[in-house]
Chains A and B, each alone.
Chain A
């Protein structure tokens, strides 16, 4: 039980990681990589918990989680900018 979700989650987190790394070359890749990685993470959590509850090993779920977290962090930080920078920059340009 949960094996299908674990496999799907593992694949999605790898795809998210690849898209996140490709985001260095193609900006749209990091935009799509983030939601893919997050969906992969959710599936890995859900499937992994189900497998553990039924007494099966959750090694693949663990691997999916590790890859998904790395993918999410890389994609999010490369894509999103710092705190109030958006407001500050807009304020400066409005003043100018």
Chain B
């Protein structure tokens, strides 16, 4: 299976094409969702600039952090480190930070978080298909369905060995997550549920699928991969946020009830 094609004399990787396709479809989806919430197109565009820059910085920083020992040990030149190497979770966290900075700086509605979290899994699914074409993020040796044998690829992907197509499995899970988030966004009664559901569902899926990944060179610490540790941190952080928010809401309701009772008593009703 080819992992690239030639365009204008330059070899363009299929991974890149799938990434572009993913960005386009999730951008169209975000536009559609923004219209539903009556967000302005201009605001969506401005926020996407912050998200892009944040995602790039986050993905690159996390890559350098998890690969620092290998970069030093293998003597990889800085130019190669800058050219290649991004980690999705770093991009997710960096992009979210970029969006929050935009919201705070221009006093925007947090509803933008809902739009991005609903559209992101769709683009991510395309990216995972790109990983399948490139042969990276490969699965454990497995000869049933779905599996694939790579005969030529880059890096340490085992060749001529049937590998579980974990990239396609993750892409399918992401499409399911996207479908569910779309339903919640369009017909859900509670606001701001979409980003929370996205974090909870994706971190769970990613944690489980990591056990079926064969590329252990990414780093394993105390039996779990870097992505699994990040999944745990994000999952727990979201649960703590929900707990704190529900305690605060409960206190707020109590205060309002007390005020109502005292108003009623003072009016002599």
Residues of A within 8 A of B (CB): 23-25, 27, 38, 41-42, 44-45, 48-49, 52, 58, 61-62, 65-66, 68-69, 72-74, 76-92, 94
Contacts and interface: CB of A to CB of B under 8 A. Distances in A.
B49 A25 contact: no
A43 B21 CA distance: 27
B20 A77 contact: yes
A89 B154 contact: yes
5 contacts: A24-B8, A24-B9, A65-B42, A69-B52, A87-B76
Sorted nearest first, the 8 A-B pairs with minimum C-beta distance are A88-B155, A24-B8, A86-B84, A81-B84, A65-B45, A77-B16, A90-B74, A24-B10
Nearest to B23: A73
Given A45-B49, A62-B42, A73-B23, A88 B217 contact: yes
B180 interface: no
Contacts of B134: 82, 85
Given A45-B50, A65-B46, A69-B52, 4 more contacts: A68-B49, A77-B20, A78-B12, A88-B217
Interface of B: 7-10, 12-13, 15-16, 19-20, 23, 41-42, 45-46, 48-50, 52-53, 56, 63, 67, 70-71, 74, 76, 80-81, 83-87, 106, 130-131, 134, 136-137, 154-157, 215, 217-218
B41 A85 contact: no
Nearest to A46: B46
B107 to A, nearest CB: 11
Q: Chain A binding site: helix, strand, loop or mixed by DSSP?
A: helix
A44 B46 CA distance: 8
A29 B131 CA distance: 26
B217 A91 contact: yes
A37 B71 CA distance: 29
A49 to B, nearest CB: 6
A76 B84 CA distance: 11
B206 to A, nearest CB: 14
A84 B85 contact: yes
A48 B42 CA distance: 9
A23 B136 CA distance: 25
A61 B42 CA distance: 8
A49 B12 contact: no
A91 B13 contact: no
B45 A66 contact: yes
Contacts of A45: 46, 49-50
Given A24-B7, A82-B84, A83-B87, A89 B155 contact: yes
A87 B71 contact: yes
Contacts of A72: 52
Contacts of B157: 88
Contacts of B106: 49
A65 B19 CA distance: 20
B28 to A, nearest CB: 13
A85 B136 contact: yes
A87 B42 contact: no
A32 to B, nearest CB: 14
**Residue with the highest number of chain B CB atoms closer than 10 Å, among A24, A45, A49:** A45
